[in-house]
Amino acid sequence: MRNALVRGRPRETDDGRLLVPTSVVEPMGSGRPGDALRVIRGTKRATARYLAPRDLPRPRVQWAAFRALARSA
């Protein structure tokens, strides 16, 4: 699993909008499996902390919509 958070500023160009990066945050640490598990567990806990006081159910992932989006890309 690899991902990164890119922060930046949007800029208008002749072709549309462009993101001009100002920083990149790599949340997975060293890329070891333990780092990925730690992020996943932390995210699940943060989600539970957000949903519980609002009495909201955990949303279901719309896998069919994601697959359709991936196919169209």
Could you read off the pLDDT of 17-67 as tens digits, one per residue?
999 999 887 766 666 778 878 888 999 999 999 999 999 999 999 999 989
Q: Give pLDDT, residue 46.
A: 96
Q: Where are the beta strands (DSSP E) in the chain?
A: 5-13, 16-25
Q: Residue 37: left if φ>0, alpha if ψ -120 to 50, beta else—which one? A: alpha
Residues 21, 8 contacting (CB under 8 angstroms): yes
Instruction: Count Cβ atoms within 10 A of the Cβ of residue 64 and give its class: 0-12 exposed, 13-18 middle, 19 or more buried.
Output: exposed
